Amino acid sequence: MTAQPQYIDFSRDWPSLGLPAHVIEVLSAAPSLVVAETREDLLNWSLGRAAGTTDWNQGNREDKGEYESAFDVPGVGRVVEAVVTKARNGLAINFPDPRMRRRDPDAMVIGDSLPTDKPTYLERFGEKFDKTRQKTLDWLKTQELVVVPFYAGPSELGYGALLICPRNAAFFAGALADLQGMIANSQVPANFKLSGGVIFIAPPFRHSLFDGKQVVVHARCTTHQEIFAYNLYPGPSAKKGVYSLLLDIGEREGWTTNHCAAVGVVTPYDNQLVIMHEGASGGGKSEMTEHIHRMEDGRLLLGKNVVTGEERTLVLPEACHLLPMADDMACAHPHYNEGQTKLAISDAEAGWFVRVDHIKHYGTDPHLERLCLHPGRPLIFLNHYIVPGGQCLIWEHIEDAPGKPCTNPRVIIPREMVDGIQEGPVSINVRSFGVRCPPTHKESRQYGIIGMLHVLSPALAWLWRLVAPRGHANPSIQDSKGMQSEGVGSYWAFATGKRVDQANLLLRQIVQNTDTRHVLIPNQYIGAWKVGFMAEWMAREYLARRGSARFSREQLVESPCSLLGYVPKQMRVEGSLIPPVFLHVGSQLEGGVDVFEEGARQWREFFKRELAPFLTDELDPLGRKIIQACMDDATQEDYWKLIPHQIFKG
């Protein structure tokens, strides 16, 4: 007979869990401690109300509640960190300080002495973290607290974690519960172990110690990681902070969590292809699971030429059906990959942090708009204009300055609300990498020379994940000028250890899964053509109808830039040919061969600059060969030989 699971009442019985001594001290000393039984409890506390007191029925227009998440800062006074507004369809969270509306790429510092390539607290602030850590814990002892038990990553992996948060910032707890899941107060397993980590929230220190900047300190030990977050924008802590916990666990255990979206693409003929799309923030991960956008008459706008104003359109009677699987983080745990040579992943999140900066008016994305306007449960919106008691509209974004809309409006969508969502581990047929590209032509000689679809060898695919270009006009972070790198795996901004360790894990992942194919896809611009995310959506439609990313030798040509792999000679979708200017960028009249070669030079320079730091003694010998080949301007054949498998079908 199977033993029944044993549960505890966390708010009462947490001392039985064997938590670390300093966590016990904080929870014991706090004037009060609440743990939610339901998600709505957290939403009520977000408005400064008692549990069960709000009518969340969308017909309720009279509730115009507003709550200021504010803190007293010694020497400064009362500081409002966020304004929480009751909307008919959820909560709208707005930050008075524009710096808190998006992730600061320099927010992370390391507060321990374990090996790392990241800036340490000692290097940045001139002292060890110990004193600030103790001040933070002492401050939390004086606060009424919300505690959220949850699992970092898929619950079946069992990486237990805690959020410890001031009650007057309960909206943050609500955001984390939507993003990562929550364990109800009465449903915490009696054997719950803190193998994932702890997140401590302490906003006043942003002003008293850190000059108003986002600072998130990561303190690792041999069993878990602790995160001390000194701001209330959930991006670098509730979102990417939990990603950091997973990367830290994987680094210890020999696996990684990919920065990706995944979707099953079902053609009108009921064939299915599973695509995993990786890339830096803004690289099109969420868009890979998004329905294709159409013009008012149903046509697809492939692109608009920024020089001539010409538009190219395509008629697609029926697009593929989408089965979303992951939006931003997917655990590639060895447990999922046993006995196969395709990469297997499982969504690491309970909710999706969807950016809606591209939705500027009603009708842009009817599917997402309908979901957010009439959700089955109240949603959490960030950086949206809101009238108290009104409807939060995802195309009405707050302004960072007069006439300058915030580039990072978000909505958190619980995973179970996504239509057609697929549960459990899935095997990946095609692994794509997305790059934000700038307009590139004779008057703008930049690096936007990537065509609609490029086929990569496994070795090249690994190199693209090492250099991970952040790309043009990244909307998700505060600074994105020029060609910069998001770092190894495009998740380096969230990792705490050494980049070479993550490089080795990614190389092992690619070598062990050569039946998963690799492609490269741009967004925003293809040469002189503004395409937005249409290139990604068309590549998705095309690959699904082909059934794979394997081509015959006659169907591909080598790109003049060896870093860009192969390019299809032509692409045909439902009988319509994609215009060649979207595939072979060097043929565009607005640019030409000289402009293409300048872009290729920029890519070669960028790759060599970003790859050099990986050439350490800790790098896998195969990885060293691949990077050295790039430094020596290798050919396509050179790259294919380094991780051999069948290049062409047939």
Q: Whole-model pTM?
A: 0.93
Q: How confident is the model at residue 646 (pLDDT cuts 50, 70, 90)?
A: low
Distance (Å, whole) CA 159 – CA 164: 17
Distance (Å, whole) CA 499 – CA 73: 37
pLDDT at 409: 96
Q: Provide the pairing of β-strand 517-526 with 430-436.
A: parallel
How many Cβ atoms from other residues are within 10 Å of residue 150's Cβ?
Answer: 22
pLDDT at 364: 85
Is residue 306 predicted with pLDDT exceeding 80?
Answer: yes
What type of residue is 210?
A: F
pLDDT at 1: 47
Is residue 32 predicted with pLDDT exceeding 90?
Answer: yes
Is residue 475 predicted with pLDDT exceeding 70?
Answer: no
The DSSP code sequence of 290-340 is SPPP--TTS-EEEEEETTT--EEEE--SSPPEEEEEESSEEE--HHHHTT-
pLDDT at 114: 96
Evaluated on CA atoms 121, 126, 128, 129, the torsion sign reads negative
pLDDT at 517: 94
Q: Do the Cβ atoms of 386 and 85 come closer than 8 Å?
A: yes
pLDDT at 553: 85
Q: Where in the chain is the domain with CATH 3.90.228.20?
A: 257-357+421-642
Is residue 331 predicted with pLDDT exceeding 70?
Answer: yes
Q: Do the Cβ atoms of 398 and 371 come closer than 8 Å?
A: no
Q: Where in the chain is the domain with CATH 3.40.449?
A: 7-253
What type of residue is 472?
A: H
Q: What is the pLDDT of residues 482-525, one digit of tens each?
A: 688 989 999 999 999 999 999 999 999 999 999 999 999 999 99
Length of the chain: 650
Give the pLDDT mean for 608-635: 97
pLDDT at 403: 93
Calculate ∠ Cα 224-144-100, nearest 5°: 70
3.90.228.20, 3.30.70.860, 3.40.710.10, 3.90.1300.10: which CATH number matches 257-357+421-642? 3.90.228.20
Is residue 611 predicted with pLDDT exceeding 90?
Answer: yes
Is residue 477 predicted with pLDDT exceeding 60?
Answer: no
The CA-based diameter of the chain, rounded to the nearest angstrom, is: 75
The DSSP code sequence of 487-502 is -GGG-GGG--S-HHHH
pLDDT at 119: 96
Using a pLDDT cut of 90, give the percent of the chain over it. Answer: 86
Is residue 284 predicted with pLDDT exceeding 70?
Answer: yes
Query: Which are the contacts of 129, defined by CB distance < 8 A and separation ≥ 6?
Result: 111, 112, 121, 122, 217, 219
Distance (Å, whole) CA 419 – CA 241: 27
Distance (Å) of CA 276 to CA 329, 397, 432, 440: 11, 29, 6, 27
Report the range of poorest mean pLDDT among 195-199, 355-359, 569-573, 627-631.
355-359
Q: Which CATH number does 7-253 carry?
A: 3.40.449
Q: How confident is the model at residue 53 (pLDDT cuts 50, 70, 90)?
A: very high
Q: What is the pLDDT of residues 215-258, one digit of tens each?
A: 999 999 988 999 999 999 999 999 999 999 999 999 999 999 99
In 3D, which of 454, 458, 436, 438 has the Cα closest to residue 446? 438
* Strand arrangement of the beta sheet that strand 90-94 belongs to: 66-73, 77-87, 90-94, 379-382, 410-414, 351-355
Give the pLDDT mean for 204-208: 96
Report the range of poorest mean pLDDT among 167-176, 476-485, 525-534, 604-613.
476-485
Which region holds residue 72: left if phi is over 0, alpha if psi is between -120 and 50, else beta?
Answer: beta
Structure token digits, residue 160: 């237990």
Q: How confident is the model at residue 606 (pLDDT cuts 50, 70, 90)?
A: very high
Q: What is the mean pLDDT of the chain?
A: 94
What type of residue is 234?
A: P
Distance (Å, whole) CA 138 – CA 250: 31
In 3D, which of 58, 530, 631, 518 has the Cα closest to residue 306? 530
Give the pLDDT mean for 164-176: 98
Query: Tell me, what DSSP letter sits at residue 96?
Result: S
pLDDT at 363: 87
